[in-house]
Amino acid sequence: MIYKRVALIGLGLIASSMFWGMKRGALAGEVTGYARSAETRDTARRIGLCDRVCDSLAEAVQGADLVVLCVPVGVMGAVAAEMAAHLAPGATVTDVGSVKREVINAVGPHLPHGVHFVPGHPLAGTEHSGPESGFAELFDNRWCLLVRVPGSDPQAVAQLHAFWEGLGSNVETMDADHHDLVLAVTSHAPHLIAYTMVGVADDLGRVTDGEVIKYSAAGFRDFTRIAASDPTMWRDVFLNNKKATLEILGRFTEELFALQRAIRTGDGDHLHAYFTRTRAIRRGIIEAGQDTDAPDFGRGSTR
Ligand code: NAP
């Protein structure tokens, strides 16, 4: 057991996966849970998500030695303000938000002296959300990034590190701004591009009477999966990782224009060299064990 009592605030995909993972690894003595709506709390009780589902935030965090904020990035500050007075002295507060700098700015000032703040971000997810979408294996062999804030207690960081390893993750610490830039490249900008591509295809689909959907090939289907991700979560990600996302989108647009020009001018050498370079990156990801080499991601069908 790593923590005696863990409080999960927000009971969606990440929190429910953490709960099942904690049970699998016997990482916590008792797990309490709180979600904003009575509907989600009822669902949690029905499926046995959390040892005790509480009807108030105050009750959920009372006596917890680890509190995990699993709510959308845009409401982390408000939730921290509401729970602050009820936190146990010496408790660790962490979060799983996809953006780090703005969450630190929003949450940090509310936490009382003697409570340790160790922000985190598990790099694992699916396009599903809600209390019934979680599963114990979500974090297996995935990265979890922890961020040190000024004055963070090394023992609190080490304990949270061990906790995420217990959930199956590989853990690394990273500076908040570096985290936000890396994630803008690897996750945030790609999501925006997927949302855009699906939106464009949808507009075209209306013109061509549904053919875009009917004949959708693997590339486009992968975009639709990404673009099915939770709208609230992703709105908050872009609004709170503005600087890094705009920086990456600026670079993306420049590259896109260069490729567009190569197509217009018939510059096959440019296109071929570019695609050769990107193919090597895919090989690197597979060699690093971060994805499958199976055709069509192992779905067994390219239709
Ligand atoms: P989710 O499945 O949509 O669940 C969100 C939970 O937050 C719900 O239980 C919801 O309660 C609660 N909530 C929403 N607004 C709230 C408010 N104002 N006050 C209190 N509770 C509120 O979300 P998720 O996918 O688990 O994501 C949670 C966090 O993890 C986000 O910060 C996200 O950036 C981060 N994250 C997500 C992924 C991913 O792929 N999904 C990956 C890594 C990190 P109700 O059900 O009652 O509305």
Mean pLDDT for the chain? Answer: 93
Q: Please report the pLDDT score of residue 303 as a whole number.
A: 34
Beta carbon of 230 within 6 Å of any ligand 1 atom: yes
Using the atom order of ligand 1, give the atom closest to the CA of residue 122. Answer: 43
Distance, CA 249 to ligand 1 centroid (Å)?
A: 25
Residue 201 or residue 146, greater confidence: 146
224-263 pLDDT, tens per residue?
889 999 999 999 999 999 999 999 999 999 999 999 999 9
Q: What is the pLDDT of residue 301?
A: 44
Q: In sequence order, what are the beta bridge partners of 34?
A: 9
Residue from 139, 254, 125 nearest 186 by CA: 125
| 182-204: average pLDDT | 92
pLDDT tier for residue 296 given thresholds of 50, 70 and 90: low
pLDDT in tens, 159-192: 999 999 999 999 999 999 999 999 999 999 999 9
- The C-alpha atoms of residue 238 and residue 245 are separated, in whole angstroms, by 7
Fold of 178-266: 6-phosphogluconate dehydrogenase C-terminal fold (1.10.3660)
**Model's pTM, two decimal places?**
0.93
Instruction: Please give the Cα distance from 145 to 280 (Å, whole number).
Output: 26
Residue 80 Cβ contacting ligand 1 at under 6 Å: no
| Statement: residue 79 has pLDDT above 80 | yes
Residue 116 forms beta bridges with which residues? 92
**CATH hierarchy code of domain 3-174:** 3.40.50.720
Distance 285 CA to ligand 1 centre (A): 28
pLDDT at 213: 73
* Cα(262)–Cα(265) distance, integer angstroms: 5
Look at 276 and 210; give whichever has higher pLDDT: 276
Range 70-78 average pLDDT: 98
Nearest to 130, CA basis, from 230, 51, 22 = 230
Instruction: Output 286 or 302, whichever has higher pLDDT.
Output: 286
Mean per-residue pLDDT, 25-37: 98
Mutational pocket test of ligand 1: of 14, 42, 226, the residue with most ligand atoms within 8 Å of the beta carbon: 14
Out of 14-23, 37-46, 153-162, 216-225, least confident range: 216-225
Cβ contacts of 159 within 8 Å, gap of 6 or more: 2, 3, 92
For the Cβ of 134 lying below 6 angstroms from any atom of ligand 1, the answer is no
Sequence spans of domains, the chain: 3-174, 178-266
Average pLDDT over residues 188-217: 84
Ligand 1 centre to CA of 1 (Å) is 26
User: Which residue CA neighbors atom 46 of ligand 1 most closely?
Assistant: 40
Asked if residue 276 has its Cβ within 6 Å of ligand 1, the reply is no
Helices H / strands E in the chain, number of each: 13, 9
Tens of pLDDT along 102-150?
999 999 999 999 999 999 999 999 989 999 999 999 999 999 999 989 8
> Ligand 1 centroid to 97 CA: how many Å?
9
Best residue among 47, 67, 96 to mutate for probing ligand 1's pocket (most ligand atoms within 8 Å of CB) is 96
